[in-house]
Structure 1
Amino acid sequence: MEANNKLSRLVTKVSTAPAFLQSFLLSQLFGRAVKFAGTAGIQIQQLNFQQARLVQKNRRKVQNHIGSVHAAAMALLGESATGFLVGMHVPDDRLPLLKSMHLDYVKRATGQLTAIASLTPEQIANIRNQEKGEVTVQVQLLDEVGVEPVLAQFVWAWVPKKRSASN
């Protein structure tokens, strides 16, 4: 798949770095662009045109009162994984916006969390080719023992950066 916006070109460029540096470089770039994610210490393990895999370690900064990753940090992790993935496909003349998120907290999390978000070829084509629209992105949030403590989906929209005269 071809890089078609600033973000995807940057990710493609980072993918030419040695493998051991790629996660670090992407995480640093992301953390600087999205300050809250940087503060939380979200790490990008994998990012390509079809899938994003991000990790939130169970650090003191993001813990709740029972010592696990806070609900808000779980939401941030899911938003980051889906948003980064959608952002890879939104053309530069459009703006990606989080429209809604739905999270069901069903179990207590153990240790660090991994978010895995994926897009289908049809979803990617819609994001790239429609001037404005929306896409529902499921994200799997897994703790370190393989339990899915949160069931989550995020709805992302995209609109032209410049409003037309009729709006």
Structure 2
Amino acid sequence: MSAGMTQVLSLWTTAARLPLGDRAFSVLFAQKAPYFASVRPRFTVIEPNRAELVVRDRRRVHNHLGTVHAIALCNGLEAAMGALAEASIPADRRWIPKGMEVAYTAKATGDVTCIAETDPAQWTGPVPEAGQDLPVRVRGELADGTVVVEGVIRLWVTPRRPSGRRR
């Protein structure tokens, strides 16, 4: 484990080696932001610059057409983005979601794998004191590769302030 490994990445790496560890991690992650529990995300990949999870096709997340609801897909995408951000961000920075732009490209008629990706270079270089945008590419795919949702979640990244210093 490298000195720069984040807590989320460290916990995932440990949990993923254990029987049902990925499921236990997923439940705990959803408790951190309780709204994520509504889609019961099941993480399958967490590494710097990439996270994947599955939103299962079940009645609880259906819309009136019987397909996975658009907002359930957005919840899955945001959970994947959050895991990616936690696994990728340097220790001297912090992040918060700033906005999401998505397009629904096909009916979500099955389990959806939500994928979030960045490039390593996006996390390097100086961050202005005022902060900067960092776009995270997101998409949701069915098992056959059909993309049902795609877009960008913009993060606002700022330098982490020393403890006790308020603005």
> Above 0.5 in TM-score?
yes
Equivalent position of 2:9 in the other structure? 8
**CA shift digits 1:23-69 (9 cap, x unpaired):** 21221221211211112211101112232111101111111001111
Equivalent position of 1:151 in the other structure? 150
Distance, in Å, in 2 between the alignment partners of 1:106 and 1:35 is 28
Equivalent position of 1:142 in the other structure? 141
The Cα RMSD (Å) is 2.5
Contact 1:69/1:111, CA 8 A, preserved across alignment: yes
Distance, in Å, in 1 between the alignment partners of 2:50 and 2:105 is 24
- 3-state SS, counterpart of residue 20 of structure 2: helix
Equivalent position of 1:35 in the other structure? 34
Offset at residue 92 of structure 1 (A): 5.4
Q: Structure 1 stretch 38-47 or stretch 115-124: which is displaced more?
A: 115-124
Q: Which runs of no fewer than 5 residues in structure 1 stay unpaired?
A: none
Q: Which amino acid in structure 1 is aligned with residue 148 of structure 2?
A: P
Equivalent position of 1:71 in the other structure? 70
Counterpart check, 1:99 vs 2:98:
yes
Aligned pairs, how many?
162
Offset at residue 146 of structure 1 (A): 2.1
Offset at residue 5 of structure 1 (A): 3.1
Give me the TM-score of the superposition, normalised by structure 1: 0.82
Contact 2:95/2:155, CA 8 A, preserved across alignment: yes
Give me the TM-score of the superposition, normalised by structure 2: 0.82
Contact 1:68/1:109, CA 8 A, preserved across alignment: yes
Distance, in Å, in 1 between the alignment partners of 2:100 and 2:157 is 15
Offset at residue 160 of structure 1 (A): 4.4
Offset at residue 10 of structure 1 (A): 2.3
Equivalent position of 1:44 in the other structure? 43
Contact 2:103/2:151, CA 8 A, preserved across alignment: yes
Distance, in Å, in 1 between the alignment partners of 2:33 and 2:144 is 28
Offset at residue 81 of structure 1 (A): 1.0
- 3-state SS, counterpart of residue 9 of structure 1: helix
- 3-state SS, counterpart of residue 146 of structure 1: coil
Q: Structure 1 stretch 97-106 or stretch 151-160: which is displaced more?
A: 151-160
Equivalent position of 1:55 in the other structure? 54
